[in-house]
Structure 1
Amino acid sequence: MRICLVASSRFPISEPFAGGLEAMTHGLAAELVRRGHEVTLFAAPGSDPALPVSHLAPAAFSVSDLAMTDVNAPSATWLAEHHAYLDLMLRLSRGGAAEFDVVHNNSLHHLPVAMASSLGVPVVTTLHTPPLPFVESAIHLGPGAGASSFVAVSDFTSRSWAHVVGSEVIHNGVDLDRWRFGHGGGPAVWSGRLVPEKAPHEAMDACRLAGVPLVLVGPVHDRDYYRTEVEPRLGRGIEYRGHLDHRELARLLRTASVAVITPAWDEPYGLVASEAMASGTPVAGYARGALPEVVGPDGGVLVTPGDVEALAAAVRTARRLDRAACRRHAELTCSIERMVDDYERCYRAVVDGPVAA
């Protein structure tokens, strides 16, 4: 099939990934190419050149100083993102979409949804987050009958969007050949964006209570939060190793005794849990968002969100779980092959249309 993948314009689809959305998009694109599909990935500059990337980088444009005096003027970042997606969607609506059989929107922007009916080819949008106001508005006004289909990355996320639109559930997946089984025995690991909504400081407190050393890895997206909540807690068995690529992170997870996951928001999926379980590393975390359906009883121990003492106990318990059973759970539920099988089936359904009874 000829597939147009629309990705993030804010972060490149390359390692080390900014987050799970970028990692999932990279894995999807690479596996579709491996299966022989003709893929074009519209993504931010700096994306992996090994992928068939077309950059989301329109001709330079800057809003006039006079326009920016408007008291409601948005930020420069918002304008750049808007301009990138407007340029892409106008190009597709003016005939560019005819090069494709299906457009798969993996962005968080409203324009690919709002303008879907102008393309003349089916559009599949994956819902990667809890509801967003601009996207809700675009769904309400934009797609038109049959123009868009929606996929959610978990049952939890599908239910959270149900008041706006129905969606098929296709769980995210990871490359099980990359995230290989390991025998553990090392420190606990926390991986992800170091931001308040991921609450790594609570993982630090829990591991200190449990008497288990902890390694933090990931990008610092909120410097103030890092300085006030993370940095003062470092030392005495807790270290920050920076933003690792997948090869380095996979090596670390294979040796970890437990992966600690501490969302302070409703996690839409939780790709870090899949990466850990594929490595044989059980999860100790908060039962929030989609994590209960992703982790399951074989993948780890989940407790009440925000209860650091309960999390400390979960860290101690999860370290004793059967690592082979954890890996088997990942093989059954978290493989990229299963994810792409499901997306291929979704693409065929929207391209072929409903089957006559």
Structure 2
Amino acid sequence: MLKILFLSTSVGSLGSGEGGGVELTVQNLAQELRRRGHQLEVVAPNGSWLTDIPVTTIEGNLQIPVQTQSRDVPVCLPDNSVLANMWSYARQVQHQYDLLVNFAFDWLPFYLTPFFETPIAHFISMGSMTKASDRIMQQIIKQYPGTFGVYTQSQADTFPFAKECKILGSAIDLSLYNFNPNPQASLAWLGRIAPEKALEDAVEAVNITGIPLKIFGRIQNQEYWQEILTNFPNAPIEYQGFLATEKLQQELGKCLALLMTPRWIEAFGNVAIEALACGVPVIAYRRGGPAEIVKQGQTGFLVEPDSVTELVAAINKIGQIDRQLCRKQAEAEYSLKALGDRFEAWFTSLI
């Protein structure tokens, strides 16, 4: 049995959706490790919660999401930083654990690594974002080889230390997602509503096809959302909000396909495997993590990045996809057992 301390993302409370896909990774990995008998504590910002997993909450001000900033942004911490407070707590309790696991993609945890006595595993949830982070990460991986984990090779390749990254993939609790063989005439888009996700491309595509688009997720950038509504006043879109997994999978399963339109290199794209688990094919830009998930012509279509024309073409032939194959791919490649095997082996090697 391992004793492990998880330190969550510091851009939002767990359960809020502000942390994006890494929230789901923390939930699923914690659930699977506890099932295997490991002792686990999850530390996260105030207001956090996980299903059936106890969380120690820490007060303080949230970090600004790194993807909203430029590559040259200087290192900074807000007053009474929740990230600093979380790591101060970790320093106090570190000797109670065999391993600390950092899920915050921020400069500070990497910088602090040499000052801890308990080993730290860094799970990196995004591709390269800032020069400052890349620099300190490169220094730390030289001192502590093998301690960086990522979702995909596409994500790793954005860093100068790509060969040093452990590729660990992602997973979901498949028992929570029901296969739906009979979709309705609607499409889905799922994720944080922010410029780097390029929701406007999906809206433009359905404006052309006339097929309704159901939009799921937290509105992270209100100005961006209003701009979409202004630019496409008559588009057949319906905002469904940020839904809990049970309700989300019910609504997602009714859709013909999931559209993924990231403007940046998506580290993985948990929403893709959520869709596949429901039997929903995925139409995604051939960029980043989704390009390593979708099986072309079998479980969806990969199209030229930033091409609305190709999105439309793929939507028009989505009936060619066998929804049973989508569910089978999710079961074969993205189960919690498979995820647990990969992470357990990684953690054991670090200890």
- For normalisation by structure 2, the TM-score amounts to 0.88
C-alpha RMSD of the superposition:
2.4
The correspondence of residues 1-357 of structure 1 with structure 2, limited to 5 A, is 1-14=2-15, 18-48=19-49, 50-57=52-59, 78-80=77-79, 83-93=81-91, 95-132=92-129, 133-142=131-140, 145-146=143-144, 149-163=147-161, 166-186=164-184, 187-230=186-229, 232-233=231-232, 235=234, 237-297=236-296, 298-351=298-351
Distance 1:37 1:242, change over 3 A: same
Shift of 1:110: 1.8
Cα offsets for 1:40-74 (capped at 9, x unmatched):
1111111116422112326x9xxxxxxxxxxx998
Q: Is contact 1:92-1:119 (8 Å) kept? A: no
Match of 2:65 in 1: none
Distance in 2 separating the partners of 1:101 and 1:263: 37
Distance in 2 separating the partners of 1:219 and 1:234: 20
- Give the percent of matched residue pairs that are identical in Structure 1 and Structure 2: 25
Count residues in correspondence. Answer: 335
Which protein is bigger by CA-based radius of gyration? 1
- Give the counterpart letter for 1:13 in structure 2: L
Cα offsets for 1:153-180 (capped at 9, x unmatched):
1011122224476111000111111122
Unaligned runs of 5+ in 2: 62-72
Shift of 1:27: 1.6
Distance in 2 separating the partners of 1:18 and 1:184: 32
Instruction: For residue 177 of structure 1, give the secondary structure of its aligned residue in structure 2.
Output: helix
Unaligned runs of 5+ in 1: 61-71, 352-357
Q: Which moved more, 1:212-221 or 1:6-15?
A: 6-15
Shift of 1:30: 2.1
Distance in 1 separating the partners of 2:314 and 2:209: 9
Cα offsets for 1:224-243 (capped at 9, x unmatched):
11111135525553211222
Distance in 1 separating the partners of 2:268 and 2:84: 28
Q: Is contact 1:17-1:245 (8 Å) kept? A: no
Cα offsets for 1:170-202 (capped at 9, x unmatched):
001111111221114221111111111111111
Cα offsets for 1:237-265 (capped at 9, x unmatched):
32112222211110011111111111111
Match of 1:67 in 2: none
Distance 1:143 1:73, change over 3 A: closer
Shift of 1:338: 1.1
Instruction: For residue 30 of structure 2, give the secondary structure of its aligned residue in structure 1.
Output: helix
Q: Is contact 2:11-2:19 (8 Å) kept? A: no
- Give the counterpart letter for 2:21 in structure 1: G
Distance 1:270 1:321, change over 3 A: same
Distance in 1 separating the partners of 2:328 and 2:84: 44
- Give the counterpart letter for 2:325 in structure 1: A
Distance in 2 separating the partners of 1:16 and 1:139: 26
Cα offsets for 1:115-147 (capped at 9, x unmatched):
222222221111211113332232244466337
Distance in 2 separating the partners of 1:215 and 1:80: 38
Instruction: For residue 160 of structure 1, give the secondary structure of its aligned residue in structure 2.
Output: coil
Q: Is contact 2:282-2:294 (8 Å) kept? A: yes
Instruction: For residue 241 of structure 1, give the secondary structure of its aligned residue in structure 2.
Output: strand
